[in-house]
Structure formats: C-alpha cells, structure tokens
Chains A and B, each alone.
Chain A
C-alpha cells in the first residue's frame, strides 16, 4: 500500500465513521441490549431481574397467543401487500393514460398516503360504524370490527387504502422515465396493447416493484397502529399482530424480558424477509 493509498483509506474511514458510529449507537447497541433483556426475567415493578436463559423462547414456542400473532402478522402482510402492489400498479397504469385531471388524481393519492395512520384508523372507525358507517350502508349491516371473520379483512382494506398510493406513485414515477421512443418502436413492430404491457412496461417496472415490495412488506410485518386503534387486537385476538403482542407485554404489563423476546422474534422475521428481498434485488443489480 502506498502512502497515498493509506491516506485515502484514512480519509475514507473518517468519512464513514460518523455514519457507522451513529448506527452503532442507535441501532446495534439497543439491538444487543434487547437481545440481552430477552434472556432475563425483568419486571421492574416487582424488582425482578434475573437471568433465565432461553425460558421465554421456550414458552413462546408453545404459546398459542404467540402463534396466533405470527399467523395474523403473516396473513395481514401477505394479503395487504399483494393487494397494494396489484392495485397500485393498476392505478399507475391508469394515471399514465389519463389526460385530464391527472394533477387532481395525484393530489388525492398523496392525501391518503400523507394522513397519519391514527387519523386513517379513526376515519375507518367511522366508515365501519355499525349503524352510521358508509361501508355498513354500502355492503349491508355487518359487524366489521366485532366479527372474528371480518375484523382482519376490515383492517386489510384500511391498510390497502392507506398505502396503495405509495406503490402507485413509485410506479408512476418510473413510468414517466420510460422514453416514448420505446413505445413507438413497439408500435412499429406491431405489438398490441397487451404485448406492450407484458413485454415492455412490466419488465421495466420490475425493479421498482421489487423496491416497493421490500418497503411494504417490512412495514406490514411491523403493523401496529391500525389494529391498535381500531380493534385493540380483538375480537378474540384475531387481529393481534406480533407488534401488538410485544407492546402489550412491554409497555402495558412491563414484562421487559418477555416482551423483548417477542421483539427479537419480530426482528429475526423482518431480517429474514429483508435478506431474501435484498438477494433478489442484488440479482436485479439494484443493490450493492
């Protein structure tokens, strides 16, 4: 290594140091601390702090409430993300064709996305209101938030309404960057609408869809606010996600050790999924 290279290297380290240190202080250290907490029985109110090893994880393995939360989280994420991607894509394609009122459509989309999720939840609380709600009026009197078979679909609808615009706007932005010559060439080659869509538009959208999928899945796996406000995890725990269960254990009942164990499981789950996506993205040449 020459002196020049060494100097460059030092400069490089100095430049990344603030970012690495910040990350270490804000993410790695608390992360390790949570891992350490999860191996303890720690309930400050009763001044209990003792090492219990993997006891909490062993209990979780046979805890029906935990497995229920895993199932709810998975179903919620899979269904809502699929719907969001499909609808978002359709909306983006529609926007591309739309001539008049595009600005208005974009603002309306942004509005849904920009609302704080607690506000969205309150909004849907009224939409699902058993006697005065709009959804109730349109689809007949159904017990949306109090029926174990309807509560989760009700929450998924709210989540799709709120985050579909995110996907739509991402896809729309990508569509704007496709040069018109590509489409002209397709027309000259005699490609029909369907062929244009499947062999030009969709392949070009592929990478942005993967990015949207990554963001949305990671968000959905940590879903909390909608269920917390609308159903509190009920009825019968049918909308209790892992994060709601962790919140109840950590903040409501102050079982810091047990709650941290759930937190670690959520972290592992998110990392697993994120790892899978990142590998896919790398194949697309999108991520370093």
Chain B
C-alpha cells in the first residue's frame, strides 16, 4: 500500500509542477494551431520575426491534428479544464461566439477597437465580434465559389450561370454536345457533415431565406427552405449531379473536377491553386464565378469560413499574447499567407491588390470580389448544436429517405427541444 500512496503523491506533485506558473523570467507563449497545408508553412518564419521584435518573449508553436472535429474537441477539453497550457489559439470562425460565451477567450476589446477590424472582409469582421465585444482577430479567409470549365463554356458560347436553373440548362446543353458519359454536371458537398450544412445554407440564402432569422427563430420559412432542399435533390435525380455527391466532401469532389470529369464544382479558393498546379489536366481551363442564385429567390451568396486568432482567457501573458495575434493578423503578418506555396487566403482586403501577392496567386482579385459578397454562417454560440442537429435531416432529404418537408419539420422539432434547454 505504501508504494501506492507514494506513487500517488509523486503524481500529484508532478501535476502541480506542470501547473505552476512561470511568472518570473522571460515569457514563453504557446501557440496552438491547425496543421498548415501546402508546401510552405508561413508560421515558423513569422514567429521568429515576432521574437526578434519582442526580446524576452519566446513562442512555441504546437500544431494540432488536421480534422476540425478533433481540434474543437482538444480546445473544449483543455479550455473547460481551465488548463493554461496554451496562450494563443487559432480557431474556426464558427467557434468564436461559442468559446466567447463559455468564457474561454480573452475579451480583446481593451486592445482592439472595432475600427481595427474594418480592413478585413466584412464577413470575417462580423464573425470576430459577438455581443458588441471583440473576441478574435481574422487571419485567413474562405468563401464558397463556383468553379467552371471556361473552355467548355466558351465552346458553347455560354456565360457563367447566374441562377441554378440556368446552370442545369447549361449542363444539359454541354453534355448533349460532348457525348462523354464520364462528364458530370455539377459537383458539391453532400456528405452528412459540416460541408452539407454550408452547401444547403447557400441554397437557402439563394432562395431568400436562412437557417436562423434575426430573432433566433429556427428555419423561419419552412416552405422556401423545403423548395431549396427539393431543388438539391432534383439535381441528383435528374443526373445533373452524380448520386455519389451524397457522400462527397471537399477532396472527393475536387478530384474529378481536377481530372476534367465535371463541368461545374462548388468549392473553396484552395482548390484553384491545385487546378493551376503544374501537370494538372485542367490547368488554364478553369474559371471562377459567384455561386448562382435561384430564379424566384435572390442572388447567390457564398458562405464564408476561415480561421481566427484568439487568446486563452487564462493566459499569464495577456499583453504578449495580444501583441502576437495583432502581429500575425497585421497586414505584414498576413502577407506571409500570400507567398507562393501557401494555400491560405488573407482576410485583409488590401492584400488582394498587392502586386507581389497577385503575381503568386493570379486569381486573388477575383476571389476578392467573391469574398466581399460572402456571408458568414449564423454567428451564434450554439452554431455547432444547430449544425449537428440538421445534418442528418438535410442528408435524409438529399438521399430521398424523407421528403424535404418532413426532414425540415424533424430538424425544427429537435432544435427547439435543444434550445429550450438553454433558455
């Protein structure tokens, strides 16, 4: 028994050591972030530069796994456990209000005025503040766009479609002319995951409705929403989209388009760098357009996403941590994202006209227009609850297990039960 007690004491002592603050002496900041994709990682260079400008401060960067779910889980466990093991974090825009509401993020309003957010895209700035306070600094930007095969559209003298109905007609015309059974119409993300919610939201917006209205009412216009879902389902039934889009995520849909087997693709800006890479079968043959609208709805809007930078409320080095995120989110810091080989797009509008950046990514001015018109997903602390509750219902409507009306009614009932528990 004695050894057990001894071991336990040792464990407790060890845990105590790990928790003890390192207040005296130089500060070490720990920066947690998602693994950066692409051949070039801009983070180490930026951190060394920050350290040179701030003597006495060292920054350790600790990459997390690449899946968004696992990053979220890591943050939740560590922030709820109140462990101050990291100071600065990179987080998905949809988590900002959630983490802020939970009291896990440092309120940045003391340091960052709302005016400081104006050089960023409006959608990114909107996602950084919640309840009138600033909780994060926008760092990189994502927006849903429509890729099209410019060569095919030109061959049939077509302009990029302005409505989904027009897109369906163009697909029929091009496929009749091409007589290629392997050529698919339009690819998008219909797997039961966050991507499906994004794609459906874009159809809801294009139909003039949404998932949450200004007064936090769930699915305020069920009839319009059902029509949007029914349209998505019809694209699969009519063969405009292949049946497997119901299992498609970003990469699964990006590849066939990149191999030249689809006319249209709904995806994010990162895909362009891959289509334009050396050896790509579609190099120089891809165009980008705003997402189409719906004939009886409104104009198309791309959903925005990306990552923000925030500070753990329990940090022991608030000043240094805020300095670090301001440095990373500054124009200078974000310029590093535009270097060749980095597949991240900055949130600062000015960089999209920067000659050096545009030389590395010739499509930046085009993405600029599209990101300006982008719209964030509902900015609410219960976004994830909302999203995971509607995912199986949207999926059921797409694969035809439920009618859109039934699926939406079920989603609404479930959400209302969950939200009831919160109010």
Interface residues of A (CB under 8 A from B): 14, 17-18, 21, 41, 43-48, 59, 64-65, 129-131, 143-148, 151, 231-238, 240, 248, 251-255
Contact = CB atoms under 8 A, between A and B. Distances in A.
Interface in B218-266: 242-248, 252, 256, 261
Nearest to B67: A229
A65 B392 CA distance: 9
Contacts of A21: 4
Contacts of B392: 65, 233-234, 236-237, 240
B80 interface: yes
A143 B1 contact: no
Given A236-B396, A252-B388, 5 more contacts: A131-B256, A146-B190, A147-B243, A233-B192, A253-B382
B101 A232 contact: no
A129 B247 CA distance: 10
B191 to A, nearest CB: 6
B73 interface: yes
A17 to B, nearest CB: 6
A130 B247 contact: yes
A199 B414 CA distance: 56
Interface of B: 1, 4, 69, 72-73, 76, 80, 98, 101-103, 182, 190-193, 196, 242-248, 252, 256, 261, 381-382, 384-385, 388, 391-392, 395-396, 398-402, 410, 414, 417-418, 421-422
Contacts of A143: 242-244, 246-247
A234 to B, nearest CB: 2
A237 to B, nearest CB: 4
A145 B242 CA distance: 13
A236 to B, nearest CB: 4
A232 B191 contact: yes
Contacts of A146: 190-191, 243-248, 399
A47 B422 CA distance: 9
B1 A237 contact: no
Given A236-B192, A237-B192, A255-B418, A147 B246 contact: yes
Most buried by A among B1, B246, B410: B246
A254 B76 contact: yes
A187 B172 CA distance: 72
A44 B382 CA distance: 12
A253 B384 contact: yes
B384 A232 contact: no
Nearest to B256: A131
Given A129-B252, A252-B72, A65 B422 contact: no
Contact of A232 (B193, B256, B381): B193
A43 B402 contact: no
B421 A41 contact: yes
A41 B73 CA distance: 20
Contacts of B243: 143, 146-147
A251 B73 contact: yes
- Which 3 pairs, one residue from A and one from B, show the smallest C-beta to C-beta distance? A234-B192, A146-B247, A146-B246
Most buried by A among B1, B103, B398, B399: B399
A21 B8 CA distance: 12
A64 B410 contact: yes
B421 A48 contact: yes
B410 A43 contact: no
A61 to B, nearest CB: 13
A251 B67 CA distance: 14
Contacts of A47: 103
B399 A43 contact: no
Contact of B395 (A43, A64, A237): A237
A235 B398 contact: yes
A239 to B, nearest CB: 9
B192 A253 contact: no
B209 to A, nearest CB: 22
Given A18-B4, A131-B261, A236 B191 contact: no
A44 B247 CA distance: 33
Nearest to A130: B244
Contact of B69 (A231, A234, A252): A252
Contacts of B252: 129-130
A236 B395 contact: yes
Nearest to B381: A45
Contacts of B247: 130, 143-146, 151, 231, 234-235
A230 to B, nearest CB: 9
Contacts of A253: 382, 384-385, 388, 418
Contacts of B102: 44-46
Contacts of B190: 146
A145 B249 CA distance: 12
A253 B385 CA distance: 5
B193 A236 contact: no
Most buried by A among B193, B196, B388: B388
A60 to B, nearest CB: 11
Contact of B401 (A17, A48, A236): A236
Contacts of A255: 385, 418, 421
Contact of A234 (B191, B400, B421): B191
A59 B395 CA distance: 23
Contacts of B4: 17-18, 21
Contacts of A232: 191-193, 391
A251 B398 CA distance: 26
Contacts of B400: 148
Contacts of B101: 45-46
A233 B393 CA distance: 12
A238 B414 CA distance: 18
Nearest to B407: A236
A188 to B, nearest CB: 58
26 contacts: A14-B1, A45-B102, A46-B101, A46-B381, A59-B417, A130-B247, A131-B182, A131-B256, A145-B191, A147-B399, A148-B401, A232-B191, A234-B191, A234-B196, A234-B247, A234-B395, A235-B246, A235-B395, A236-B392, A236-B399, A237-B192, A238-B401, A251-B69, A253-B384, A253-B418, A254-B76
A277 to B, nearest CB: 32
Contacts of B245: 146
Contact of A130 (B242, B382, B399): B242
Nearest to B244: A130
A5 to B, nearest CB: 21
